[in-house]
Structure 1
Amino acid sequence: MMEVLSHLGAAVGDMLGWIGEYERGILGSIAVLMVLLGTYTTLENKTPESPRYLSSGVRSTNSPLMSNKLASLLTYPSAFIIPCFCMYVSRNATHINMILATLMVIHYLQRTFIFGLLLNGTSKIPVHVFRMSATFCALNGYMIGRYQTEYAVYDADWLTDPRFVIGVALFFIGMAINIHSDHILRNLRKPGETGYKIPRGGLFEYVSGANYFGEIVEWTGFALACWTLHTAAFAFFTAGYIGVIKAFAHHRWYLAKFEDYPKSRKAVIPFLI
């Protein structure tokens, strides 16, 4: 089995080396497309088709529904499998490149095997939303995984550079906020209860989208630590899509649904917006 993987890795490495003349342009184009997509979705400010809004008729198509849990378990793996494979076939990666790529792998392992497996198994999302999310994760995994392991160049002292140190610290702080906030959301309802409740505790005392704030901090830190256009493009898209679109939609929904919802809470950034 290992011999087969070795030959496969060598073959893919040769193929990627052959298209290397064009690959930088391809990766850069994906990054630019991500910035444009983030800008468009932010300006459009359309209510997301997540489970809580489907009952309100927020659906852009007649796409069939599927389990949100299954969708998550199928969507996220490509975002860590592809970077892992990129690390395996890379001919230029240093230990610094590997460390930075591993941060992305850690995030999506958590999203798959902790967040995904613990999701409510009864909630639904449209199939076309799953398809778009899965495509995005695969493209993003390729863009960042490939660039970080093959093309990004760092000085030998990058691990002590303030951008790396602060960026990695922000990454893990953001991840901790995200995981803790997801834990609060999962435990809002007691066994047998249905319906929605007001989140309490943690950063939910300050913002409606504490989980989204954590993820924004996480990917901003990642972009700072990597210091590349590609990771910055992903951080920009994340801030626009989950920060402006999802967090603000949730904030408006909470205010409309609960008369006693804390008016002092912001949408996504504590004390600001």
Structure 2
Amino acid sequence: MERSAAVSSLSWALVVGGAAYLLRQTRRCGQYGRYAEPSGRCWPAGPAWFLQEVPAFLVPLLLLGSAEPSSATGRSLLVWTFMLHYFYRSFVFSLLTRGRPVPLKIVCSSVIFCSLNGFLQGHHLLHCAHLQLTWLTNARLSAGVLVFAVGLSINIHSDHILRRLRKPGELVYRIPRGGMFELVSGANFFGEIIEWCGFALAAWSFPAFAFAFFTMCSIGPRAFHHHRDYKRRFEDYPRSRKAIIPFIL
């Protein structure tokens, strides 16, 4: 299969898969975390998050090692931007998380997804994309990386707030307060969506757009389920908060 055909096929798979996942979550949220089934094999949260996220860091890293020296400019910057999120998820978040055990089927499916998506983004940027650095491209690249950085900061800060709600070993739920949680119930999800929208703006490619679209379809509905669950659990839950988009939705 030609490079362009492989990239196109994987990108369309993300778009179609995202739409299908969105439709599925209108009926039932993804079964991990607070929505996990009580039965079934599970892995501790830390090792599970490491194993399922690290392929999206390692695969592009291997591709970087085989890339031509001329790739070590704008395209390599975008690859490192992509990898930065997964470095955090694999080597920082996985060590700090106090989340519930993750079902084995979720871990396996995430390993496959992160491996394929890591290959798609890295391969396209390093081997297929033609990045002509004009003033317009530089402005879009800079704006996209800035938006990504803002989203990553929101995501990391929101994870920090959620961790502080629990003592080690606790599985209780409390109302998160502070940061973007003052505006939306899914502040961590909001931050991650902003990240990948920024990445798509910077990369300006179909694979990056497809991943941003898949992210919105997969964790956007989860924010709505969390919002509904918070309101069900807590009578004093702030009524001014939205689910995922501040002041709107």
- TM-score, normalization by structure 1: 0.85
Determine helix, strand or coil for the equivalent of 2:29: coil
1:156 deviates by 2.8
Is contact 2:98-2:166 (8 Å) kept?
A: no
Which position in structure 1 is the counterpart of 2:24?
Answer: 44
Paired positions, count: 246
Relative distance call for 1:70 and 1:191 in structure 2 (3 A) is: closer
1:184 deviates by 0.2
Unaligned runs of 5+ in 1: 1-20
1:265 aligns with 2:241: yes
Which position in structure 2 is the counterpart of 1:10?
Answer: none
Which position in structure 2 is the counterpart of 1:69?
Answer: 46
1:53 deviates by 2.0
5 Å-filtered alignment, 1:149-160, equals: 149-157=126-134
1:163 deviates by 1.5
Is contact 1:93-1:149 (8 Å) kept?
A: yes
Which one is further off, 40-49 or 107-116? 40-49
Which position in structure 2 is the counterpart of 1:237?
Answer: 214
> How far apart, CA to CA, are the structure 2 residues paired with 1:261 and 1:66?
31
Is contact 1:207-1:270 (8 Å) kept?
A: yes
1:191 deviates by 5.4
> How far apart, CA to CA, are the structure 2 residues paired with 1:206 and 1:128?
33
State, as a whole percentage, how many aligned pairs show the same letter: 42
Determine helix, strand or coil for the equivalent of 2:102: strand
1:96 deviates by 1.0
Which position in structure 1 is the counterpart of 2:114?
Answer: 137
5 Å-filtered alignment, 1:54-65, equals: 54=36, 58=37, 63-65=40-42
Which position in structure 1 is the counterpart of 2:228?
Answer: 252
Determine helix, strand or coil for the equivalent of 2:184: coil
- Given candidates 133, 147, 151, the residue that maps to 1:170 is 147
Relative distance call for 1:39 and 1:86 in structure 2 (3 A) is: same
Unaligned runs of 5+ in 2: none
**After superposition, what is the alpha-carbon deviation per residue over 1:72-101, rounded to whole angstroms, capped at 9, x for unaligned?**
111111101111111111236241111111
**After superposition, what is the alpha-carbon deviation per residue over 1:132-156, rounded to whole angstroms, capped at 9, x for unaligned?**
1111000000000111111111113
Instruction: Determine which structure has more spread, i.e. the larger CA radius of gyration.
Output: 1
> In the alignment, residue 50 of structure 1 is paired with which amino acid?
Y
Is contact 1:63-1:128 (8 Å) kept?
A: no
Is contact 1:68-1:125 (8 Å) kept?
A: yes
Which position in structure 2 is the counterpart of 1:101?
Answer: 79
- Given candidates 185, 205, 210, the residue that maps to 2:182 is 205
1:254 deviates by 0.6
1:167 deviates by 0.6
> How far apart, CA to CA, are the structure 2 residues paired with 1:32 and 1:97?
22
Is contact 1:49-1:125 (8 Å) kept?
A: no
1:162 deviates by 2.5
Which position in structure 2 is the counterpart of 1:83?
Answer: 60
1:189 deviates by 2.3
> In the alignment, residue 84 of structure 1 is paired with which amino acid?
L
> How far apart, CA to CA, are the structure 2 residues paired with 1:82 and 1:36?
23
Is contact 2:98-2:168 (8 Å) kept?
A: no
